[in-house]
Amino acid sequence: MKTKSLLLLNSTLLLLLYGMIWVASNYPVYLEAFYSNSIYPLLFEVRSLYFNLFPFSLGDITYAVIFLSILYWIKTTNWKNCFLNLLRFVTGILLLLLWFQLSWGLNYYRQPIFKKKELKPYSDEDLTDISRFFALESNRLHLQLSKGDSLPVQLNGSKKETIKRLETSPSQYKIEGKAKISLYSLPLSYMGFTGYLNPFTLEAQVNGRMPKINLLLTTAHEMAHQQGYAAENEANFMGFLHCYQHPALDIQYAAALFGFRYTYNELYKANPTVAREILCSLYPGILKNFKASSDFWQKHKNPLEPLFKKSYDRYLKINNQRLGIQSYNAVVSLLITYFKVEANKPLSEK
């Protein structure tokens, strides 16, 4: 393709991308109705029929093929006409961006789970109450799962079996989806990531190396992404509900630990003394479950991890998530709103 044709094509693709994002940003009600609740579910179902046939991630393999193809293209291309080749490269990038938005990315602009009038700023008292609530829930479930309060909870079965239990859950907040253990679990561990959704194949990948107690919420989180909940706080929230309402006590326990970890971290910023007091109320076995997770990530800590996190933070901010990587922590607002508004009962009475 000649230079003028490529310039025209790239200009058209840029206008199409800009127009698509502008409409999605300014008319979220229509996006919700026509894309998130109509077109996207159909895209997901059609793709699932094919990609679910494979026990491994075709998306992971596709990334490797694309990367190797780019290297081969760079090596074999005649670079005498550098500008023309640069235009071809830009065309490829723009086509991928268009595919990304149509395939899944437009969900970043959908309406939030709770309306703004419902999602009010929470007080320190709310934060203290919900932290205590999750501490009590963790202790209650730990007593039913462990032989002693000083022993950590151990999940039975393989990691694949653990994932399967979530996929076939009869939970009230069922999330339809299927997760796979990523072929890149080792690199993900060193990058500090628990999993990701491939926006092109819509396969949910989880880090198969992390402790099983962490695998549960990560799997539910990525399955929530498959349902079109793109915002990280909302995927966290829907994943929590899926596990918290699960009939299996060990999955409920994992959800309680998840809730405690996020609410405790926020409370510690506001009132370290009260936060430490609540932490001391946890059974030693629960602390050992937390330590197993902490030891895993500490083992894989490396100097490049902050760079990966910063890049992901930038990616989220570009895609309409103002808080960037901190949007994961915004799940605390959703949890407090749910237990106070949806459950219609003060946290102190739970």
User: Does residue 153 lie within any of the structural domains?
Assistant: yes
Last residue of a domain, one of 109, 139, 158: 109
Given pLDDT bands bounded at 50, 70 and 90, which one contains residue 170?
low
The average pLDDT across 290-315 equals: 91
Domain for residue 147, yes or no? yes
**pLDDT, tens digit, for every residue of 52-90?**
889 899 999 999 998 898 888 888 877 777 888 888 889
pLDDT at 219 over 90: yes
Statement to judge: residues 82 and 138 lie in one domain: no
Please determine, for residue 312, whether its predicted confidence score (pLDDT) is greater than 70: yes
Q: How many domains does the chain have?
A: 2
Question: Which residue matches tokens 């491994």?
Answer: 56
Residue 32 belongs to what domain range?
3-109
The pLDDT of residue 189 is 95
Domain boundary among 109, 144, 169: 109
Q: Is 96 in the same domain as 129?
A: no
Q: Which residues of 323-342 are buried (b: 16+ CB within 10 A; e: fewer)?
A: ebbebbbbbbbbbbbbbbee
> Are residue 128 and residue 105 in the same domain, yes or no?
no
What is the reported pLDDT for 2? 81
* Amino acid letter for position 265: N
Q: Is residue 115 part of a domain?
A: no
Same domain, 100 and 230: no
Same-domain status, 344 and 239 = yes
Distance CA 75, CA 72 (A): 5
Residues 137 and 100 in one domain: no
DSSP codes of every residue in 179-240: EEE-TTHHHHHHHT--EEE-TTT--EEE-TTS-HHHHHHHHHHHHHHHTT--SHHHHHHHHH
DSSP annotation of 121: P
Residues 16 and 138 in one domain: no
**Running DSSP on this structure, what letter comes out for residue 32?**
I
CA distance 347 to 338: 10
Confirm whether 117 is domain-assigned: no
Complete DSSP assignment for 274-309: HHHHHHHTS-HHHHHHHHHHHHHHHHT--TTHHHHH
Residues 342, 344: Cα–Cα separation, whole Å? 5
Residues of the chain with pLDDT > 70, as a percent, come to 93
Mean pLDDT of 6-16: 93
What CA–CA distance (Å, rounded) separates 57 from 94?
24
The string of DSSP codes covering 38-55 is: IIHHHHHHHHHHHHTT-S
80 and 189 fall within a common domain: no
Which comes out higher in pLDDT, residue 326 or 97? Answer: 97
Residue 175 lies in a domain: yes
In a domain, 119, yes or no: no
Q: Does 242 lie in the same domain as 181?
A: yes
**338 and 234, same structural domain?**
yes
Which among 130, 152, 131 has a CA at the least distance from the CA of 141?
A: 152
What distance in Å separates the CA atoms of residue 261 and residue 283, rounded to the nearest whole number?
A: 14
Residues 252 and 192 in one domain: yes
Provide the mean pLDDT of the chain: 89
Q: Are residues 262 and 344 in the same domain?
A: yes
Q: What is the pLDDT of residues 254-296, one digit of tens each?
A: 999 999 999 999 999 999 999 999 999 999 999 999 999 999 9
pLDDT at 33 over 70: yes
Task: With respect to residue 52, please indicate whether it lies within any of the assigned structural domains.
Answer: yes
DSSP state letter for 152: P
Inside any domain, residue 76: yes
